[in-house]
Copies of this chain bind each other. A is one copy, B any other.
Amino acid sequence: MSTGWQEVQAEVLRRIQNREWPPGGLIPGEVALAREFGCARATVNRALQALADDGWLERRRRAGTRVALSPLRRAQMSVAVLRKEVEALGKTYGHRLLMRKVAGSLLCLQTLHEADGTPYGIEDREIDLTHIPAAGSADFTILSANEWLVQNAPFDHGNMSYMSEGATAFDARHLECEEATPLLVLYRETFSEAGRITRVRLAHAPGHVVRLQI
């Protein structure tokens, strides 16, 4: 057994997956494992730490390290830059600013996103100009608001929701589908310390799929 923490991690993971160490079971302490693997305790610690971060182990001082009861697997989803999403499909991205108006401190935008010239999604967005004043003078016909904000308005936290909705008349007109066609719709809000930066509703074209690896 060589002495890298990644190798220790791999071996421990193997034992978990092979049920040599069953879910809920206590595994040997760090010193014992270090002895077994012929490495320093810090190396074992690094490996177990990483496995705990990934949800395979649950560690508590004095209580020891247990194999997680339900090794919850997680999928990661990034906050999409639609241009990259489209280009990843091998298609040409385009977008058109359909509407821009200011209502009080809110900048309201409607943008149609296209892939190879066909509608990809229709976006309805509000940006708070008190928090992002630069947005008032940005030219969203060049860089879409979606991409401009990712680059220029770093956020603290936010939330996303996916829902299934029937196409509204507005959706149907721009996505070139029948009204009430089932659409995958994304809502997203992002916040800085000061408050909400932007809120967006993005209705994807019919048949759109959100894929995740787990």
Q: Chain A: residues with CB nearer than 8 A to chain B?
A: 17, 19, 23, 53, 70-79, 81, 150-151, 154-166, 180, 182-185, 188, 190, 204, 206-214
Q: In the bound complex, do residue A160 and residue B75 qualify as a contact, i.e. CB atoms below 8 Å apart?
A: yes
Known: A161-B209, A164-B183, A182-B164. A214 touches B23 (CB 8 A): no
Task: Please list 8 pairs of residues, one from A and one from B, whose beta carbons are closer than 8 Å in the complex, sorted by A's number.
Answer: A76-B76, A76-B77, A159-B214, A161-B212, A162-B209, A164-B164, A164-B206, A180-B180
Q: Which residues of B contact A190 (CB under 8 A)?
A: 214
Q: Which residues of B contact A161 (CB under 8 A)?
A: 209-212
Instruction: Tell me the nearest residue of chain B to A188, going by C-beta.
Output: B214
Known: A73-B155, A162-B210, A180-B180; 19 extra A-B contacts, CB below 8 A, are A53-B53, A70-B151, A72-B78, A72-B81, A74-B79, A75-B77, A159-B212, A161-B210, A163-B210, A164-B164, A164-B165, A164-B182, A164-B183, A164-B185, A164-B208, A180-B182, A182-B182, A184-B184, A190-B214
Give the oligomeric copy count. Answer: 2
The residue in A157, A159, A162, A208 that gathers the most chain B C-beta atoms within 10 A of its C-beta is A162
Would you give the shortest CB distance from A190 to chain B, in whole angstroms?
7
Would you give the shortest CB distance from A158 to chain B, in whole angstroms?
5
Would you give the shortest CB distance from A122 to chain B, in whole angstroms?
14
Known: A161-B212, A162-B162, A182-B164. A81 touches B75 (CB 8 A): no
Q: In the bound complex, do residue A214 and residue B158 qualify as a contact, i.e. CB atoms below 8 Å apart?
A: yes
Would you give the shortest CB distance from A73 to chain B, in whole angstroms?
5
Instruction: Tell me the nearest residue of chain B to A192, going by C-beta.
Output: B17
Complex Cα–Cα for A185 and B183 (A): 11
Instruction: Tell me the nearest residue of chain B to A184, going by C-beta.
Output: B164
Q: In the bound complex, do residue B75 and residue A212 qualify as a contact, i.e. CB atoms below 8 Å apart?
A: no
Partner of A211, one of B53, B159, B206, B208: B159
